[in-house]
């Protein structure tokens, strides 16, 4: 890639200019969801009672190695989605869009998929995942991650814990973007660094101020520390705001020419390796937040210049578009199908076939969710009839965004939802 300024003139500065499509970021989303999928297949115990092992390998050494290698992949997938949420919303945002219209589109994006998978969990895990109304009702309204109790914040469909964070991001974005637009371009990198420092601060508070006892049965820290350092939505705001700032940096033409995609991938490998050496709490976000931000920014810059990439191929874009559905259903799919096997384990070939089967079923279910729930709901409910009439009358073209939604809509900005990918602890069944 060229070392010259990577942003194109059409992108530079442009609150009023048409912004480039981000097809490669769409394709990249699928790999973030895939990391979460593989994390879940490696778990030593299911989050759904009776908590049988998910890892299908019979050989204890191979099973331990598989789990060890995938120890941090779920955390990386989660952090990627949270940073990408901020990036895409800022990329597609325009001054003057109405908050109510924005919130309507965001709620429509999240709730239909969530409700369908919630209902599936209710049916499949009745009697085991549902202890009382107090456990599942917060999940229904996507506020369950605000509760420190594991039987609430990981209730029903465990990967859905991240939707509480996404909902908080969407509620706050119209309020946050106003002051962030006022930050002078020369100060954007300093603010981005402050967000990275904020992720460190969250873990320092968790390690030194949150009670470290009683110890969790499934993590090396206490349940309270795990909740505060990983699940508590306000603590994830630093990643989201970092994404917003990175979008502004790219749009301002201030992305450094040397911060290319290969360099970002190299940083990601370093961050992944560092996750095995730093304190457990730092694996959640701190070890990989800089590489994730670098990767999102570098790929967006490449897209904005019109560089060709296999990530922007039709297949990868489709996979990226269904990744939200894939992410939401893969936990239920893996945990339920594994429960039907009564904890049976297999040789290497048999285990690989089991994992491939989990993937095929999860991808098919995610695609069905995307095409027959998410997209129809977005077409019908994401905009008021007045907006739809105005859009039809204007007849303006739209650019495809990170989740297949328009980045440049006829009225206001519709931003793609990267969904959420969520893992938990090395042995814990957390999305």
Q: Are 27 and 321 in contact (CB under 8 A)?
A: no
Residues facing residue 400 across a β-bridge:
406
Q: How far is CA 209 from CA 212, 225, 229, in A?
A: 8, 9, 11
Which residues span the domain enclosing 131? 23-394
- The pLDDT of residue 268: 96
d(CA 302, CA 27): 13
Instruction: Report yes or no on 356 lying in a domain.
Output: yes
Instruction: Report yes or no on 122 lying in a domain.
Output: yes
CA-wise closest residue to 113 among 419, 392, 384, 360: 419
CA-wise closest residue to 24 among 301, 334, 224, 259: 301
Helices vs strands, H then E, count in the chain: 17, 0
Count other C-beta atoms under 10 Å from residue 18's C-beta.
Answer: 11
Q: Are 403 and 85 in contact (CB under 8 A)?
A: no
Instruction: Report yes or no on 6 lying in a domain.
Output: no
Instruction: Report yes or no on 5 lying in a domain.
Output: no
- The pLDDT of residue 292: 98
- The pLDDT of residue 7: 37
CA-wise closest residue to 305 among 264, 250, 268, 246: 250
Instruction: Report yes or no on 136 lying in a domain.
Output: yes
Q: Omega before 50 cis (within 30°)?
A: yes
- Number of folded domains in the chain? 1
Instruction: Report yes or no on 3 lying in a domain.
Output: no
Instruction: Report yes or no on 406 lying in a domain.
Output: no
- Residue 401, both tokens: 């965004």
Angle between helices 99-124 and 348-369 (to 10 degrees): 130
pLDDT in tens, the chain (431 residues): 333 333 333 345 454 445 678 999 999 999 999 999 999 999 887 766 666 789 999 999 999 999 999 988 999 999 999 999 999 999 998 888 889 999 999 999 999 999 999 999 888 876 555 567 888 899 999 999 999 998 898 888 889 999 999 999 999 999 999 999 999 999 999 999 999 999 999 999 999 999 998 887 677 899 999 999 999 999 999 999 999 999 999 999 999 999 999 999 999 999 999 999 999 999 999 999 999 999 999 999 999 998 888 999 999 999 999 999 999 999 999 988 988 888 899 999 999 999 999 999 999 999 999 999 999 999 998 887 666 665 555 544 333 333 334 333 333 333 333 333 333 333 333 33
- The pLDDT of residue 73: 93
- Residue 366, both tokens: 């995610």
Indicate the DSSP class of residue 215.
B
Instruction: Report yes or no on 89 lying in a domain.
Output: yes
Q: How far is CA 60 from CA 42, 67, 220, 340, 346, in A?
A: 12, 10, 21, 21, 11
């Amino acid at each position: 890639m060229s070392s010259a300024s990577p942003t194109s003139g059409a992108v530079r500065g442009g609150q009023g200019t048409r912004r480039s499509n981000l097809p490669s970021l769409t394709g990249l989303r699928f790999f973030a969801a895939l990391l979460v999928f593989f994390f879940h297949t490696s778990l030593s115990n299911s989050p759904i009672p009776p908590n049988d092992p998910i890892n299908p390998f019979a050989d204890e050494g191979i099973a331990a190695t598989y789990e060890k290698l995938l120890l941090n992949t779920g955390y990386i997938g989660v952090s990627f989605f949270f940073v990408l949420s901020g990036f895409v919303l800022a990329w597609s945002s325009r001054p003057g869009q109405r908050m109510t219209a924005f919130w309507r589109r965001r709620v429509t994006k999240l709730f239909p998929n969530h409700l369908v998978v919630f209902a599936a969990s209710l049916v499949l895990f009745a009697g085991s995942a549902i202890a009382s109304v107090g456990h599942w009702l917060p999940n229904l309204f996507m506020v369950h991650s605000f509760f420190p109790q594991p039987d609430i914040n990981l209730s029903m469909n465990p990967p859905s814990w991240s939707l509480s964070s996404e909902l908080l991001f969407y509620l706050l974005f119209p309020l946050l973007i106003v002051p962030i637009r006022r930050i002078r371009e020369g100060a954007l990198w300093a603010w981005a660094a402050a967000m990275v420092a904020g992720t460190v601060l969250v873990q320092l508070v968790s390690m030194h101020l949150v009670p470290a006892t009683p110890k969790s049965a499934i993590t090396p820290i206490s349940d309270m520390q795990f909740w505060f350092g990983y699940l508590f939505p306000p603590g994830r705001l630093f990643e989201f705001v970092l994404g917003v700032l990175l979008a502004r940096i790219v749009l301002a033409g201030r992305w450094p020419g040397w911060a290319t995609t290969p360099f970002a991938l190299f940083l990601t490998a370093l961050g992944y390796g560092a996750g095995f050496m730093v304190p457990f709490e730092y694996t959640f976000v701190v070890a990989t937040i800089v590489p994730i931000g670098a990767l999102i920014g570098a790929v967006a810059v490449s897209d904005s210049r019109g560089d060709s990439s296999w990530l922007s191929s039709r297949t990868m874009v489709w996979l990226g578009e269904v990744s939200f559905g894939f992410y939401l259903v893969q936990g239920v799919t893996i945990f339920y199908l594994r429960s039907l096997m009564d904890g049976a384990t297999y040789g290497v070939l048999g285990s690989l076939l089991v994992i491939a089967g989990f993937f095929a079923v999860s991808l098919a279910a995610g695609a069905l969710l995307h095409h027959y729930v998410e997209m129809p709901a977005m077409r019908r409910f994401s905009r008021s009839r007045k907006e739809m009439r105005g859009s039809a009358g204007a007849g303006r073209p739209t650019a495809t965004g990170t989740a297949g939604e328009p980045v440049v809509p006829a009225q206001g900005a519709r931003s793609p939802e990267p969904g959420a990918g969520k893992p938990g602890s090395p042995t814990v069944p957390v999305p």
